[in-house]
Amino acid sequence: MAVKQDQIEAEIIAARERLAKNLSELMHALSSQGLKERSKEIAKNFFTHPDGEYRIERIIGAVISTVLSLKIFRKIF
């Protein structure tokens, strides 16, 4: 009986530690620094191949889209 209770207590302690770790990771992911890091990584992955080379077609597309958006915005306002 005591062995079973010790095992249950150990499982509860392990579950608490996992929960604390998950909460810590979640707090970092939702912090401004965590969001900034994730956004930078997403942008980097969008504009580069897995081997590190630039995706020229995506860079050119982003530049053209930005220029056209600015021109349209200026005409409207």
Q: Which H or E run contains 34? A: helix 32-47
Question: In total, how many domains does the chain have?
Answer: 1
pLDDT, mean of residues 13-24 = 96
Is the predicted pLDDT of residue 52 greater than 80, yes or no? yes
Question: What band does 77 get if pLDDT is binned at 50, 70 and 90?
Answer: confident
The parent domain of residue 9 ranges over: 2-76
The whole-number pLDDT of residue 71 equals 96
Positive or negative, the CA dihedral 58, 64, 68, 69 is positive
Total H helices, total E strands in the chain: 3, 0
Task: Name the residue type at position 77.
Answer: F
